[in-house]
Amino acid sequence: MAIPRAEKAFYVIVALSALWIGSWCYVNPAYVRTALPWFAPPLHARFLGAVYLSATTFCFCSAFARTRAELCAVLPMIAIWTGVVFVVTPFYLTPADYLRPPVWIWLVAYFIYPLIALWLMWSQRNDTVPPSPARTVPGWARSYLLIQGIVLSAAAVLLLLRPALMIEAWPWKLTLQLAQIYSGPILCYGIASLLISRGSSLAQARIALVGMCVFALAVLAASIIHRATFVRASLSATLWFAGFAAASAILVFMLARSRAGAPRTA
Going through the chain in order, the beta strands assigned E by DSSP cover: none
Among residues 186, 236, 220, 246, which one has the least CA distance to residue 51?
186
- Angle made by CA atoms 221, 45, 12, in degrees to the nearest 5: 90
Average pLDDT over residues 39-66: 95
Rounded-to-integer distance, Cα 70 and Cα 91, Å = 36
Collapsed DSSP state (helix, strand, coil) of residue 134: coil
Res 42 pLDDT > 60? yes
Using pLDDT thresholds of 50, 70 and 90, give the confidence band for residue 135: low
186 contacts 159 by C-beta, under 8 angstroms: yes
What is residue 260's predicted lDDT score, i.e. its pLDDT? 65
The mean of the pLDDT values for the chain is 90
Number of Cβ within 10 Å of residue 148's Cβ equals: 23
Weakest-pLDDT range from 14-23, 97-106, 214-223? 97-106
Weakest-pLDDT range from 109-113, 161-165, 204-208? 204-208
Res 187 pLDDT > 60? yes
Angle between helices 74-88 and 176-197 (to 10 degrees): 160
What is residue 204's predicted lDDT score, i.e. its pLDDT? 85
Q: Give backbone dihedrals phi and psi of 23, rounded to 5 degrees, phi first.
A: -65, -50
Percentage of residues of the chain with pLDDT beyond 90: 75
Using pLDDT thresholds of 50, 70 and 90, give the confidence band for residue 136: confident
Rounded-to-integer distance, Cα 156 and Cα 168, Å = 15
Q: pTM surpassing 0.75? A: yes
Rounded-to-integer distance, Cα 52 and Cα 215, Å = 8
What is residue 261's predicted lDDT score, i.e. its pLDDT? 53
Eight-state DSSP code of residue 93 = -
What is residue 264's predicted lDDT score, i.e. its pLDDT? 43
What is residue 259's predicted lDDT score, i.e. its pLDDT? 76
What is residue 126's predicted lDDT score, i.e. its pLDDT? 73
3: left (phi over 0), alpha (psi -120 to 50) or beta: beta
What is residue 27's predicted lDDT score, i.e. its pLDDT? 95
